[in-house]
A and B are shown apart, each in its own frame.
Chain A
Amino acid sequence: MRFSIYRFDPDKDSQPYMQDYALDEAKIWPGMMLLDALLELKAQDETLSFRRSCQEGVCGSDGMNINGRNGLACITPLASLKTPIELRPLPGQPVIRDLIVDLNQFYSQYRAAKPYLINEDPEPEVERLQSPAEREQLDGLYECILCACCSTSCPSFWWNPDKFLGPAALLQSWRFLADSRDRATDLRLDELEGPFKLFRCHTIMNCVEVCPKGLNPTRAIGRIKELMLKRSM
């Protein structure tokens, strides 16, 4: 099986380049994932660099651009991919080395969404309780693993990564706006006002298309806009 992989070592290379690799068919087993193949290739060439950790789609470390589409290598079956398999780093982010990108911008936008409960009410003696219906509001939001597949596939995030929060951060923004225990609705909405942080989303929906957890940031962004509109009337 043939691979074409983006290579760049800032200490040695003046330009990135694509390097071809071949994996012996005998080493491929049924149900093999792309990450397993990458680990085999790394055994051949230890300079090949990529991030990975849990290997089961939970940690979100191995997000990369696979045949032109962002995804997690560990849950992408090798058999589902057209060869030669072209692997590139997540688009639009500074490359540290090979398939490893610098996600500082992504994380700073995540922090800007204040992804934690804000509640100044006196602490109750037990936990802050939610009804099952209130808890249900968080389904499809809390499952995000911050792999950055969505934000780095979003053209609006490519053009304005410093100003537009991006789908991942906005999904979290809605996750806390939708939380019955959170009391900072006004603060959160005020911070999202202006033409860039929220309103750069043009409903392109690349985020929905690539999310490895099947989440829908576009819908969350629409809910934020609706809430903002309701509050302004």
Chain B
Amino acid sequence: MSRQAHGLRAWVLQRFTALYLVLFLAYLLQRFYTFPVQDFAGWQAWIADPLVNLATGLFILSILIHAWVGVRDVVMDYVHHTGVRVAVFAAIALTLTGCGLWSLRVLFLAVIRGSGA
């Protein structure tokens, strides 16, 4: 990764993901205010819609990227010992990747079940 990737690209990614997070949250609020989901089957049907599924996947990816840049900034500010910093980065990366994979599984299963129903 170039040196630029750590500075400008991270900064731009943080802003773009923030924009998407706001837009998707506005959609969620509007959607559930207008058409409240009544039961579990309703939730399943909603998330099984390919467009919603994809948009939710992008939302989760955006949260993960946004969180990574934000937490990375905090670590860079406060953790100065190289070894400790690498360990903290690894722990955060592992946690975020785990959350991402788990979300992917949930979204994937929702589509499979949706198409099977």
Contact = CB atoms under 8 A, between A and B. Distances in A.
Chain B interface residue count: which class? 10 to 19
Nearest to B74: A202
Contact of B76 (A195, A225, A228): A195
Interface stretch (B5-13, B39-47, B103-111): B5-13
Interface string A181-219: 000000000001111111110100000000000000000
A197 B3 CA distance: 11
B49 interface: no
Nearest to B7: A199
Interface string B80-113: 1000000000000000000000000000000000
B8 A199 contact: yes
Contacts of B11: 199, 225
Interface residues of A, number: 18
Contacts of A197: 7
A160 interface: yes
Nearest to A202: B73
B35 interface: no
B32 interface: no
Nearest to A195: B6
Contact of A232 (B6, B8, B10, B73): B8
A21 to B, nearest CB: 36
A229 interface: yes
* Chain A interface mostly: loop
B78 interface: yes
B8 A225 contact: yes
Contacts of A199: 6-8, 10-11
Contacts of B73: 202
Given A193-B3, A194-B3, A228 B77 contact: no
A156 B6 contact: no
B4 interface: yes
A197 B6 CA distance: 11
Nearest to A155: B77
A159 B74 CA distance: 11
Nearest to A164: B77
A167 to B, nearest CB: 15
A195 B5 CA distance: 8
A194 B77 contact: no
Interface in A138-161: 155-156, 159-160
Interface in B8-50: 8, 10-12
Interface of B: 3-4, 6-8, 10-12, 73, 76-78, 80
Interface of A: 155-156, 159-160, 192-200, 202, 225, 228-229, 232
| A-B complex: 3 closest residue pairs judged by Cβ atoms | A195-B6, A194-B3, A199-B7
